[in-house]
Structure formats: C-alpha cells, structure tokens
Amino acid sequence: MQKKIHIKKGDIVFVNSGNDKGKKGRVLKVDREKYKAIVEGINIISKHTKPNAKYPEGGIIKEEAPVHISNLNVICPETGLPTRIGRKADSNGKLVRYSKKSKNQQEIK
C-alpha cells in the first residue's frame, strides 16, 4: 500500500529540523516506501569511492542523502512561506493540491 505524500518531485521545500534547518531546496527524488526525499543542496554527505567508470579518479564525493518527509514543508508560490498542503477536487473532479496558508488557495504545481 502506498502512502499519501504531500511532496512531489520538483517542489521547492523548506527544511523544518535537522542540521540544515531553515534552508530551502528543490526535491530531486521521492522514495514512497521509505518516506524520504532527496533535496538539492540539503543533507550533504561525503562518500568514499573506488575508481570506476563514472568516477575514474575515485576519492571523496559529496552528494545529497535522503531526508525524512516529515521534516519538509512545501513553499507556497504566492507568499514564499512554508505551508501545509491540502487536496480538493476542481471543476473536472480531479484532485488538486493547494496551499493552506494563502487566502485564495492557489494550486501548487
């Protein structure tokens, strides 16, 4: 069974807690089973690698590690502030995400 997740690939998110608290970044990947997301520039780790086809030199590589989704909030495109996300049916009956913070509840794309 898949969990409902308020974050999608491409969203700009705000980090609520952890070492990168207060930073913003774009979601690169969402893992529904583990309930985690990889965010650009957030939770950077140093990974030691041997030389291979992708990294002929090998050595230490900096890359993003997954962050638990409960530590992320989507940024409202209208206000630029972190917000909670709701879902409602539009005129066609399709579910649309919207910002709970902004008064006119603009669609989140």
pLDDT at 103 over 80: no
Find how far residue 39's CA is from the centre of its chain: 5
Across the chain, how many H-helices and E-strands are there? 0, 10
Q: What is the average pLDDT value for the chain, to the nearest integer?
A: 89
User: For residues 25 and 39, is the Cβ–Cβ distance under 8 A?
Assistant: yes
Mean pLDDT of 7-17: 94
Domain locations in the chain?
A: 1-75, 78-109
C-alpha to C-alpha distance for 101 and 94, rounded to whole angstroms = 21
pLDDT at 1 over 70: no
Mean pLDDT of 8-21: 94
Span 49-102, pLDDT tens digits: 999 998 899 999 999 999 999 999 999 888 889 999 888 888 888 888 888 887
pLDDT at 18 over 70: yes
C-alpha to C-alpha distance for 84 and 69, rounded to whole angstroms = 12
Architecture of the domain made up of 1-75: Roll (2.30)
pTM: 0.83
Backbone angles phi, psi at 8, to 5 degrees: -125, 160
- End-to-end distance of the chain based on CA atoms, in angstroms? 25
